[in-house]
Structure 1
Amino acid sequence: MKNYAIIVAGGSGNRMQTETPKQFLLLKDLPVLMHTLRAFAQSNAQPRILLVINKDQQQYWRRLCEEFNFRIPHEIIDGGSTRFYSVKNALETIGDECLVAIHDAVRPLVSKELIDKCFEHAERRGNVIAAVQSSDSVRLLKDNITSALKRDEIYLVQTPQTFSLAILRTAYQQDFEAHFTDDASVVEAAGYEINIVEGERNNIKITYPIDLELAELLLKD
């Protein structure tokens, strides 16, 4: 069975307090997005990489690839107005039955081991997402009233989120809903039970300036 990886790179620099979208910021002298693509290229799964990126950022990305002599093969797909439509655009380019891993462009520290584990579990179970158990106490705020939740029942969702193409095709026939915050929520709304594998604490998402600093430190190890 063929493998695909959809890398979703639609983020802006707003929360990073920079005009440069965070996927293009330098991390150890290389744009964040290049670290992400390299992790998938180095995995045993060897997926075909589909990079979903806004039209107005594609020329800049091509210039970066030339500047950094970045030669990892990937296909550029036009991004949509939301993550939902970006992923849907990428899915429409896939013709063969396959497994598809969907990953945030700004999770550059994902290991090839986690990528391969997600593909392996998805092949057996139809779908799987990476998630880590909460190490903090967690409370729910609803109607201005807070209540404690059992932290050993709380998982913090990461990517990759990996599915059979058949499941994704069915799920993405739905109309967009505001509560679709990731691909698992789309698939779950289509009636599928979501499976979890243990993610990685280092698999952080670059959202705020401190995240980039932490990623620099983690890459030194």
Structure 2
Amino acid sequence: MKYSIIVAGGSGSRMKSDMPKQFLSIAGKPIIIITLEKFLSVKDNTVILVLPKNLFDYWENLKSGFSKDIQNVQVVEGGKTRFQSVKNGLKAITADDGLVAVHDAVRPFVSVETIEKTFETALQLQSAVVYVDSKDSIRMLTTNGNEAVDRSKIKIIQTPQTFDLKLLKEAYLLEEKSTFTDDASVFEDFGKTIHLVEGDYSNIKITTPEDIALAEFLMTF
């Protein structure tokens, strides 16, 4: 069985908006709806939406204008951190066998093909984390200043990040650390290997007003 946890706990602070960024619209459709539709397109995939408690009523009103599949998505209360939100999402899954993808709600341009590829890879290798190559030159800060880094060895990590369900549940029993910036870092700290899956540069994370402008452009394709 496949499960997907869509984490939608962000605020509008960097977006300079009173509206949480996951609820902003692109070409007339809320970002969160676009993202959910992608994951609902994957066969035999149970989708769980993690939201702050104070947005439950807003979500109830919003979802009524969309498909039954959207309206039937299970909603789980988020935590104070991403780690806690994902942990809550995992607790909502009663099964232990299967695969689970974790995805940022504000990455609406992930392709269904990429989602399916991560499930296929995780089935074989227990993990599948989406990446793209760095297009930029990279420098690393050092005690003496900074130094160049071979960018061919640098991978920019995206979501979804997909894992064996039982193992990810066990990994999320670890005590939270500041180094847990994503699910891959939790899984790795648990002693498991991260396997990378090539993604797509269009799978942007919408965080700032500039990202909205780019998203509007991407919606035309």
Q: TM-score range by the shorter chain?
A: over 0.9
What residue is the counterpart of 1:84 in the other structure?
Answer: 83
Structure 1 letter corresponding to 2:208:
Y
Question: Is 1:180 aligned with 2:203?
Answer: no
SS at match of 1:116: helix
| Distance of 1:178 and 1:70 partners within structure 2 | 38
Q: For each residue in 1:146-188, what CA deviation from the matched residue of structure 2 results, as whole angstroms up to 9, or x when unmatched?
A: 1111100000000000001121022111000011000000011
Percent of counterpart pairs with the same letter? 45
Q: Following TM superposition, where does structure 1 have runs of at least 4 consecutive aligned residues deviating by more than 3 angstroms?
A: none
Question: Is 1:171 aligned with 2:168?
Answer: no
Range that drifts further, 154-163 or 141-150: 141-150
What residue is the counterpart of 2:58 in the other structure?
Answer: 60
Contact kept in structure 2, 1:180 and 1:186, CA below 8 Å:
yes
Structure 2 letter corresponding to 1:103:
H
Structure 1 letter corresponding to 2:66:
N
Question: Per-residue deviation at 1:143?
Answer: 3.6
Report how many residues are paired.
218
Q: For each residue in 1:35-64, what CA deviation from the matched residue of structure 2 results, as whole angstroms up to 9, or x when unmatched?
A: 000001112x43100000000011111111
What residue is the counterpart of 2:22 in the other structure?
Answer: 23
Consecutive unaligned residues of structure 1, counting only runs of 5 or more, are none
What value does the CA root-mean-square deviation take over the aligned residues?
1.1
Question: Per-residue deviation at 1:213?
Answer: 0.9
What residue is the counterpart of 1:216 in the other structure?
Answer: 216
Contact kept in structure 2, 1:40 and 1:46, CA below 8 Å:
no
The within-5 A match list for 1:1-221 is 2-43=1-42, 45-66=43-64, 68-71=65-68, 72=70, 73-96=72-95, 97-143=97-143, 145-221=145-221
Structure 1 letter corresponding to 2:76:
I
Question: Per-residue deviation at 1:137?
Answer: 0.5
Cα–Cα, structure 1 residues 31 and 150, in superposed 2: closer, same or farther, change >3 Å? same
Consecutive unaligned residues of structure 2, counting only runs of 5 or more, are none
| Distance of 2:46 and 2:176 partners within structure 1 | 26
| Distance of 1:69 and 1:192 partners within structure 2 | 39
SS at match of 1:115: helix
TM-score (norm 1): 0.96
| Distance of 1:126 and 1:158 partners within structure 2 | 17
